[in-house]
Amino acid sequence: MTHQSEEVRTLKVNTVTINATHQLPAPNLLTPEVWLFVLPAGRGMSECTKSKKWYDALIDFSENLHNDSIMAFLTSPADAAETWTALSKTMQYQLLISVKLDKPLVLNPGQLPVQHTEVLVLSKYRRSLKHTKTRQAYTFCPACDKTTKDYGGKKHLYHEYGTALSDVWRDITYKWNEKPTEIIDRLRDLFGLDPYQELVVVDLSGVKALAPTKAQAGVSGELEVPSKEKLDSQLIVGDVMESLRKIPDNSVEFCFSDPPYNLAKRYDTWDDSLNADVYLNWCDEWIDELARVLKPGCTLAVLNIPVLAIRHFEHMKKGLIFQNWITWDGLSLPVRNIMPANYSIACFSKGEPRPLPGIVNTNPSELEALALTTQRENFCVRASCISSRPKKGIEDREPVGDLWWDTHRLKHNSRRVDHPCQLPPSLMRRLIALYSSEGELVLDPFNGAGTTTLCAAEMGRRYLGIELSDKYHQITEERHRSLDNGVDPFGKVNTVPNVKNSRVSRVVSVKYKVPKKTLQLEVKRVAERLGHLPNRSELEEFGEYSILLYDEYFTSWGDVCAAAKTTGMSEMRQSKA
């Protein structure tokens, strides 16, 4: 077992196999249930997922569920998007979980291999998802046999078994059109608590397969001839819609957008807390403009959290052709028991997609070659291990697919500038290498601190970067000047950014009289003596150190007691007794 659940009562499994949508079993209106629908593999390849009758049947099914019931769907990303869209009025979106396939699948020559499938989780209730606290086991590097991630001086804060489950499952795999045993086992434990008794698995994998049609892709009208005007690189400060309207039709080879997510981030000038309908309508407008300026055969890629990426998918498919659904495993802040790591990049082409430049490129530059390969699964990122692998003859890289786990967020202040949401340059280098060639034009309508345009410049592309904030625009211009002068704009700096990526206040640098780890382990000792987590007065009475040190060094009592709540872990694989 690759996971461990607390206080779990593993659900029984009841499997129902059907070959047509009219055979869909009836839900129990009086009993809370957990359902898993295993849909046929592949985007738009089945009789059920392209049929209005199928979605009508699902809506009717959902309306007759008990109010505490859960529906999960094992399917492709595109069909997961359409399923949620169909059920959005009767069910609550909870999770889109990306599950690694047992091996990459090349469905279309010249395109990105498919490397993951999805588990879409919906609930009849509107509150947060109810589930067990589940951990996924640590993985260990095949080169050094240490944990995949280096937890450094925080090992005392982690559990001996593993880390909290995330919404990207790479520790288990799925083989299309075979029984999803590992996924079923995990869901049985994840929802193994009252009031649920069993997991009902509805197997639709035998539903007749059909070839996808042009109509499914959302193509309409004749495509225009690419613009002959060759635009020079430019950084533009101004409103995104006004600026995009000035760009000629069919003039850009790759459009990338990482818009504000409407999550109340603290941007310089943008209001990131709009009414939901206003926000989504605004997104539709700039997506349409990006589609207009995109050259035929080229790609528009939009990054967002999964639930919003699904909404973008539904709009983009009206006039563009779906290409890829890239999952970026970019672990974020621990805001819930299932860690948010899943970020979606929905990629569409204008008309039939051209062979991806990064897939057919036989002579990549050094930067492109690195971007177009990924570190193999479960190799660690310790510098000493990385440098030792070539000497041992260990090949630790492989061609990239559509599941990206080796691109890590910028978490250290030394790599950040004064912008709350910076993408790592490795992410943008990979996208630019895949979807464009040297000399082609890359457009980012939300250029922020300039990561996209800087990566485009260093990789020999022309660029257009649009940014509303004059402050961020000036930061970008300064970074481009550094690049022009031979200075790495992504190098380490000694300054601390003024802005943060979260609402939690930055801890002021302190010279500790007693290390924080020592204080946390002292709380653990006191907790073991008392048989419960100590309160402030108990720690003051039984602890060795002054309570004032805890007040000065920690932001909350939860932080004080962090080590006492867990077992502590070792970065070395533990031998079984």
pLDDT in tens, 349-380: 999 999 999 999 999 999 999 999 999 999 99
Residue 346 scores a pLDDT above 50? yes
335 has a pLDDT exceeding 80: no
Q: What is the pLDDT of residue 47?
A: 44
As a whole number, mean pLDDT of residues 326-342 equals 84
Report the distance separating Cα 476 and Cα 480, nearest Å. Answer: 6
Per-residue pLDDT of 434-468, as tens digits, reads: 999 999 999 999 998 899 999 999 999 999 999 99
pLDDT > 90: percent of the chain: 74
Largest CA distance in the chain: 79
User: How far apart, in Å, are the Cα atoms of 387 and each of 144, 148, 151?
Assistant: 12, 16, 19
Nearest to residue 262, comparing CAs of 287, 290, 235, 281? 281
User: Are 447 and 321 within one domain?
Assistant: yes
Residue 380 domain-assigned? no
Of 440, 467, 484, the one marking the end of a domain is: 484
**Cα–Cα dist 232/252, whole Å:** 11
Query: Is residue 194 very low, low, confident or very high in pLDDT (cuts 50, 70, 90)?
Result: very high
Burial annotation 324-334 (CB, 10 A radius, 16+ → b, else e): bbbbbbbbeee
* Shared domain check, 338 and 277: yes
Check whether residue 348 and residue 261 sit in a common domain. Answer: yes
Q: Which residues contact 166 (CB under 8 A, 6 or more apart)?
A: 136, 329, 331, 338, 339, 340, 341, 342
pLDDT of residue 139: 93
pLDDT in tens, 516-558: 999 999 999 999 999 999 999 999 999 999 999 999 999 899 9
Is residue 161 domain-shared with residue 277, that is, in the same domain?
A: no
Average pLDDT score over residue span 340-352? 96
Give domain status of residue 498, yes or no: no
Residues 192 and 248 in one domain: no
Q: How many alpha carbons lie under 13 Å from residue 190 in its C-beta half-sphere? A: 26
pLDDT at 46: 42
At 216 the pLDDT is 40
Q: Are residues 141 and 246 in the same domain?
A: no
- CATH code, domain with 314: 3.40.50.150
Strands 70-75 and 34-38: parallel
Q: Is the pLDDT of residue 414 over 60?
A: no
Q: Is residue 505 part of a domain?
A: no
Average pLDDT over residues 157-170: 94
Please indicate, yes or no, whether residues 239 and 151 belong to a single structural domain of this protein. no
Pick 549 or 213 by higher pLDDT: 549
> Do 443 and 298 sit in the same domain of this protein?
yes
Q: Stretch 16-21: mean pLDDT, rounded?
A: 85
For the segment 272-310, what is each residue's pLDDT rounded down to a tens digit?
Answer: 566 788 889 999 999 999 999 999 999 999 999 999 999
Residue 561 clears pLDDT 70, i.e. is over it: yes
Do 65 and 114 belong to one domain?
A: yes
384-400: per-residue pLDDT in tens? 999 999 999 999 999 99
Q: Which residues contact 18 (CB under 8 A, 6 or more apart)?
A: 24, 25, 202, 203, 204, 206, 207
Confirm whether 574 is domain-assigned.
no
Read off the pLDDT of residues 40-87 as tens digits, 9 standing for 90 and up: 876 543 444 567 888 899 999 999 999 999 999 999 999 999 999 999
Domain total of the chain = 3
Domain that holds residue 409: 231-362+400-484
- What is the Cα–Cα distance from 341 to 374, expressed in whole angstroms? 18
Q: What is the pLDDT of residue 151?
A: 85
> Once rounded to an integer, what is the mean pLDDT over residues 491-506?
61
pLDDT of residue 214: 39
Taking residues 226-240, what's their average pLDDT?
Answer: 90
For the chain, percent of residues with pLDDT exceeding 70: 87
| Claim to verify: residue 197 and residue 246 sit in the same structural domain | no
Residues 282-307 as b or e (16 or more Cβ within 10 Å = b) = bbbebbebbbbbbbbbbbbbbbbbbb
- Pairing assessment for the beta strands 403-404 and 397-399 based on DSSP bridges: unpaired
* Same-domain pairing of 74 and 197: yes
Strand partners, 237: 467
Determine, yes or no, domain membership for 472.
Answer: yes
pLDDT band at 205 (very low <50, low <70, confident <90, very high): confident
Q: What is the mean pLDDT of the chain?
A: 89
pLDDT at 108: 87
Instruction: Kindly state whether residues 243 and 114 are assigned to the same domain.
Output: no
Q: Average pLDDT of 485-501? A: 75
